[in-house]
Amino acid sequence: MNRNMMKPGVSSRDIYSGEYESKSIPISYQEKSSQSRMLIKGGKVVNDDFMFDADVYMEDGIIKQVGKDLVIPGGTKVLEAKGKMIIPGGIDTHTHFQFPFMGTTSIDDFYTGTKAALAGGTTMIMNFVPAQDVSLLEAYETWRGWADEKVCCDYAFHVIISSWNEKTEEEMEILTKEKGLNSFKMFMAYEDLQMRDKDLLQIFETCARIGAIAQVHAENGDVITMNEKKLLRMGVTGPEGHLYSRPEEIEAEATHRAIVLANQVNCPLYVVHVMSKTAGDIIAEKRQKGYNVYGEAIAAALGTDGLHYFNKCWQHAAAFVMSPPLRPDPTTPKHLMQLLASGVLQATGSDHCTFNLSQKGLGCKDFSKIPNGVNGVEDRLSVIWEKGVMSGYLDPCRFVAITSTNAAKIFNIYPRKGRIQVGSDADIVVWDPHASRTISVKTHHQAVDFNIFEGMEVRGVPVYVISRGKLVVEEGQVHVSQGAGRYIPTQPFSPYVFACLQQRELFPPPVSRNDSDVPDGEIPTTPVSASSIPREYMHAKSAAEFHSRPPTRSGGRNLQDSTFSLSGAQIDDAKGQRSGIRVNNPPGGHSTGLW
């Protein structure tokens, strides 16, 4: 039986009280190694929809009981969580580990990257697979080989499409149906990756047909190329040129264009790393009108800003170069957090694509050659807790939604991931909402030699991190095993994304007509006849139509008769409007006294 399905006759009350699971413990249960059994005791479980005090028992990588006064076998490892929260492990929707890009390769590979993720409370990453110069299937198999031998936590893939042909369409379908991959990303910028509108439409249409989610990096690449050349001619070569070449409006324009194109073919669209207020507002406007578009914010855009591009130290400024760039408007992080709080943006990633300062130096004389990318996979949860929850924009449930649950729903791995409940994977974080730490390159677990959040004090710290039922982080100490993670298939047609789209395909219904009477080359005109118009719209009903009782013997109106009509007409409608009414004083004159 699917572990995610509730058995007949078992209520949610039984599950959360622990009564159902505690009664089904077999005799052999006691004989199992305590290494696979763990109990988190005394904490507050926080899911995306509600919080409650409960203990959580897990075994063999699966949550088995959630509730109070649980019956557990002896030898179970107990973690004390009094005063702390028990939350689903984070899901980072956007990483680029060992990513070949702009003449070099990102410094964090699948081992150091996933180790850092676990240290910060993220128990699953979703990494991008480029497919340049090879087929989509070849790229997928190559990256599976690289990831499987190194990952410390569970992972999934998004595949980047950089060209379009019939073979691309065939391989997209194979990846979706046979390889458990339900999302594809297209770049609207970078000369060697940029996709044109006509190709985007073809890919969007294919995604809609096979049940996949289309993702876009939304920037106008043609404008960027023109701006870069102009700035270099003017002698602007430093990191500030990167910002100048990519103004907000070209991110907003590409975001709007992608949403409109996807909507034409009923394709769900996921806009990665929304970096500006204007791009976020466009998504808000389109979602309000019913467009099926989703948005992702990243830790960098929520925790810092683009004023660093003007730092006098070239290395400092270059360390922040990414695309789209961080915005110099200091109100942008707050605005993006508010969009997450209101549901306009649904998920958060890190866009973790790290290059050491020596690698950034490839663009020391030309900002367009600085490898784009920043860190974030380790600090994402703490930065969002500090900037969102501790600043009053998010409640803990919303924090869980944007860091874990919504991603699981969008990419169709819910409730296996993203939830604390019986049957879900034991990817759990015991979170101390009040503990604090200072982010520093000296203490982080990433391989990169710079941290864009350097010196930031954040509240919200993972005390225990459990991945696949194993305790991997314990009070600041990280104990991971290379290759311990597993590939998690993401099945097509996520109901969270596709349910409304499938219903929309039924509308608008066609108008049924009899075309046999239409002569060739003529458009007949149908005269409006009185018989074609409902009577209640033609005129007021006659007085006779209002009377349901005959007159009295003397010919007067029967007082039991009704003047009510379902049409809303009144008995005196035909009399016309009186121009005025003269009121005379009653006999004896008008009253000026008490009456």
460: left (phi > 0), else alpha (psi -120 to 50), else beta? left
In single-letter form, the type of residue at position 554 comes to S
Per the DSSP assignment, residues forming a β-bridge with 157 are 127
Tell me how long the chain is. Answer: 595
Tell me if 18 sits within 8 A of 65, measured CB to CB: yes
Tell me if 478 sits within 8 A of 445, measured CB to CB: yes
CB burial of 71-87 (b: ≥16 within 10 Å; e: otherwise) equals: ebeeebeebebeebbbb
Q: For position 552, what pLDDT does the model report? A: 72
Q: For position 80, what pLDDT does the model report? A: 97
Tell me if 297 sits within 8 A of 340, measured CB to CB: yes
Tens digit of pLDDT per residue, the chain (595 long)? 333 333 333 333 343 333 333 333 343 444 445 568 999 999 999 999 999 999 999 999 999 999 999 999 999 999 999 999 999 999 999 999 999 999 899 999 999 999 999 999 999 999 999 998 899 999 999 999 999 999 999 999 999 999 999 999 999 999 999 999 999 999 999 988 999 999 999 999 999 999 999 999 999 999 999 999 999 999 999 999 999 999 999 999 999 999 999 999 999 999 999 999 999 999 999 999 999 999 999 999 999 999 999 999 999 999 999 999 999 999 999 999 999 999 999 999 999 999 999 999 999 999 999 999 999 999 999 999 999 999 999 999 999 999 999 999 999 999 999 999 999 999 999 999 999 999 999 999 999 999 999 999 999 999 999 999 999 999 889 999 999 999 999 999 999 999 888 777 777 777 777 766 666 655 555 555 555 545 444 444 455 555 556 677 776 766 666 666 655 666 666 555 666 656 566 666 655 555 4
Q: For position 358, what pLDDT does the model report? A: 96
Q: For position 384, what pLDDT does the model report? A: 98
